[in-house]
Amino acid sequence: MSADSDSIKINGENYAPQDIPALLQRLGDLEKELEEYKQWNEHLQSKLKTRTLEKEGKKGRAAWHVRLDEKINRIYLTLSGNFTYPTARTATMHIMTVLSHSRAGFDIIADISDLLPSLEKRAIFHVKKMLYNMRYLGLKRAVLIRNQEAPQVSEAFENQVESVYGSSSIVPTFNDVSDAENFLNR
């Protein structure tokens, strides 16, 4: 009997019978390593699916809430009350913190339905700053939940969008969040 007749052929490779226990041990180690990677991948996937970055605040008569749903890469922004220069600055910092975690091509639903029409002119600086940052970070689509009782608020926001993007027609307006979500989910 030749040496080749005692060898075992696996995937075109010849192995001596004494190599089999070491090969089986290595195979077992690789299976354990693969299982650990699968568990780590599942853990990371669960974090991606459930992670929601959220900031909210209230200062004076102004309130804001911003939330990023990473799974669908969408920002939900609610502004209400009366924004002064200091409150707009604080709110913008919170909004920018959340925006910085979005991926390029994100959507935003901006609900200004409870925003009062007495927005200070100096506070508009922060609105523009936020719009420029959204543009820079890769805003894909935006929708606005209009203020039914004070249409001038919606018009003011649309004017700011036009000054940054060159057109306000890129921001459709809706009466409620569910209509806006339906529009973006199409």
| pLDDT tens-place string over residues 52-79 | 689 999 998 999 999 999 889 999 999 9
| Residue range 28-36: mean pLDDT, rounded | 92
Smallest Cα–Cα separation from 77: which of 57, 103, 61? 57
Provide the 10 A C-beta neighbour count for residue 91: 27
CATH of the domain at 155: 3.30.750.24
Residues 7, 99, single domain; the answer is: no
Same domain, 37 and 63: no
pLDDT averaged over every residue in the chain: 84
Tell me the per-residue pLDDT of 87-109, one tens digit each, with 9 for 90 and over: 999 999 999 999 988 889 999 99
Q: Is the pLDDT of residue 1 over 80?
A: no
Query: Do residues 56 and 130 share a domain?
Result: yes
173 versus 87: the higher-pLDDT residue is 87
Q: Do 151 and 69 reside in the same domain of the chain? A: yes
Higher-scoring residue by pLDDT: 149, 85? 85
Residues 41, 63 within the same domain: no
Boundaries of domain holding 102: 52-185
On whether both 25 and 87 belong to a single domain, the answer is no
Distance CA 12, CA 104 (A): 48
Average pLDDT, stretch 26-40? 91
- pLDDT score, position 49: 56
Count how many domains the chain has. 2
